[in-house]
Amino acid sequence: MLTRKTKYGLKALSFLAKQEPGIPVQISKIAEAENISLKFLESILLMLKKNELLISKKGKGGGYILAKSPNDISLASVYRVLEGPIALVPCVSLNFYQKCDDCKDEETCSIHDFMIEVRDSNLKIFENKSVADLV
């Protein structure tokens, strides 16, 4: 299951992709349109900005703009920023690798190969889809 954070983030990016490009959209406008708590959304957009998926402008007429073309924002990158690893176990994660502390070694782990299959299947779908596909 997705956390709300990721779900809201995807919806917000989709909303931004539907607006006229280059014109800042206020958080409050997105929050209202997508039925998201304003303050919560604020923190989500901030994370997306820090990870260079969004650009912001302060002051009057300010707001958020997509940092790149919707086509160039993969859903994998969004997922990794908001949800974390795409893999189901840390020991097969490409971007967040960690040894599983219950496993003696990865070669003898009975679920390791299956976990790689699931990861690759999900990578394929998340890497090949972009924010443009949500519009």
Partner DNA sequence: TGTTTATCCTAGTAGATAAATAGGGTAATA
Partner DNA sequence: TATTACCCTATTTATCTACTAGGATAAACA
> What residues line the site for DNA (CB under 7 A)?
3-5, 8, 24-28, 37, 39-40, 42-43, 45-46, 49-50, 56-64, 102
Give the nearer residue to DNA in terms of CB position, either 65 or 120: 65
CA–CA distance, 72 with 44 (Å, rounded to integer): 19
Which of DNA, a second copy, none binds 14 (CB below 5-8 Å, type-dependent)?
a second copy
DSSP per residue, the chain? ---HHHHHHHHHHHHHHHSPTTS-B-HHHHHHHHT--HHHHHHHHHHHHHTTSEEEE-STT-EEEESS-GGGSBHHHHHHHHT--SSSSGGG-SSS----TT-S-TTT-TTHHHHHHHHHHHHHHHHS-BGGGG-
Question: In angstroms, what is the minimal distance from the CB of 89 to DNA?
Answer: 11
Question: In angstroms, what is the minimal distance from the CB of 60 to a second copy?
Answer: 28
Binding region for a second copy (CB under 8 A): 1-2, 4, 7-8, 10-11, 14-15, 34-36, 75, 84-85, 87-90, 100, 102-104, 109-111, 114, 117-118, 121-122, 124-126, 129, 133-135
Give the nearer residue to DNA in terms of CB position, either 57 or 124: 57
